[in-house]
Amino acid sequence: MALYQRGRIWYADYYVQGKRVQISTGTANERKAQKFFALRLAEADRGEYVKPRKVPLSEFGEQYLAFAKVNKRSWVRDKQILVHLNEFFGSALLRDIGPLQVEQYKQARIKRVSPATVNREVALLRHLFNLAAKWGSFQGKNPVLLVKFFDEDNDVLRVLSPEEQERLLQHCAPYLQDLIVFAVNTGLRAGDILNLTWEEVDLEQGIVNPKVRKNRRQLEVPLNDDAERVVRAWWGIRKCGYVFYNPETGDRFKDLWLGLKKACRKAGLEDVNWHTFRHTFASRLNRNGTDLVTIKELLGHSEVSLTMRYAHTSREAKRRAVRALANAKSDKKRNGVTK
């Protein structure tokens, strides 16, 4: 019975009822590996040993996807991530994937996508291991817990310029054009747009009252001319309770990521996703002088601190502010007011 290393990771080698067991401890730390080893030996002494199952990541991914379809609205995005995980890990068993393999996946993916995208994919892998342990398909420490996520610059928000928006719309199908225009002019999240029903629309008052899925808050968002034009067009062709529906199925859209990705590629735009339209909405409000409290209410933020990321001003706005200060002093001098 002993501990040994493969690369940086420690493995436990021992016998249970005359049968040899070799298992990864999931850690490069010798002290943690010894603790893991002691626990496995104690389980064997108590007769609680469970033989590790040989479950490939691809097989467990299919089990997870069946679970996600029932429990998650964003399961399509998870399906897309699983494609990348399966391409990299192939037929690897869950028990054979360690921190080094996860780090190698990170380094391979960062050459093709943004740090935020890699982090979302690695986060799903971490979730898969947690569920596998819960469902009895995996034993040991979650290898993703030993891997550092990429830093994300959350202060830099990707927003569309009017020129970029026009270029993107030129490469979209008509239904996608409407959804993007609506998103840019309401600031609603993609999920809340797809779930918007006619019961939440008041065309007479020119407002929508969606219930935000993320925090269960009821919003009141006025429709400007562009957004109202989109809604009235869909009102004329309505076929179900949802405002926006898939013309092919007659039911709500399930996912719009692939269509947007294709349009962005044709338009030559990078780092654009559905949240970009929300950032664009808030940033344009800020540049037009809208106060942060109003922006907070329109976005449905629970705290104004969440809205502070949009508290940036353009160079021209700064110049106007400084000029206004100088003009105010000049007016006081002309009126004979001095201090």
Rounded to 10 degrees, the C-alpha dihedral 129/132/138/141 comes to 40
pLDDT tens digits for range 76-101 = 789 989 999 999 999 999 988 999 99
Give the residue among 191, 227, 201, 221 at the shortest CA–CA distance from 297: 221
Place of tokens 């399509």: 76
Confidence of residue 51 (pLDDT cuts 50, 70, 90): low
pLDDT of residue 337 exceeding 60, the answer is: no
Tokens 């049968």 correspond to what residue? Answer: 19
In angstroms and rounded to an integer, the radius of gyration of the C-alpha atoms of the chain is 27
pLDDT band for position 263 (cuts 50, 70, 90): very high
Residue ranges in 110-148 assigned as alpha helix (H): 115-134
Domains in the chain: boundaries: 2-45, 57-146, 162-310
pLDDT of the residue at 200: 95
Write down the mean pLDDT value for the chain.
87
Enter the tokens of residue 57. Answer: 């990541």
Which CATH number applies to 57-146? Answer: 1.10.150.130
Torsion (CA) 134, 137, 139, 144 in degrees, nearest 10: -80
Contact (Cβ atoms closer than 8 angstroms) between residue 85 and residue 106: no
pLDDT above 80 for 152:
no
Beta strands in 17-160 (DSSP E): 19-24
pLDDT in tens, 285-296: 988 889 889 999
Q: Collapse the DSSP code of 174 into the 3-class scheme (helix H, G, I; strand E, B; otherwise coil) and give the result.
A: helix
- The span from the CA of 186 to the CA of 222, in Å, is 8
Neighbours of 166 (CB within 10 A): 11
pTM over 0.85: no
Cα gap 314→57, rounded to integer Å: 48
State the architecture of 162-310 in CATH terms.
Orthogonal Bundle (1.10)
| Of 223 and 190, the one with more pLDDT | 223
Cα distance between residue 317 and residue 299, in whole Å: 23
Dist CA 37 CA 23 (whole Å): 9
User: At residue 221, what is the residue type?
Assistant: V
Residue that wins the pLDDT comparison between 93 and 335:
93
Distance CA 24, CA 13 (A): 9
What are the pLDDT digits (tens) for 4-47?
998 888 888 888 877 888 887 878 889 888 988 888 888 888 87
DSSP letter for each residue of 236-269? HT--SSBSSB-TTTSSB-S--HHHHHHHHHHHT-
Burial (0-12, 13-18, 19+ Cβ within 10 Å), 158: middle
Yes or no: say if 206 and 292 are a contact pair by the CB < 8 Å rule: no
Instruction: Give me the mean pLDDT over the 50-78 stretch.
Output: 85
Which amino acid, one-letter code, is at 147?
Answer: V
Q: Give Cα separations from 91 to 54, 96, 100, 129 (angstroms).
A: 11, 10, 17, 16
Dihedral pair phi/psi, residue 197, rounded to 5° = -110, 165
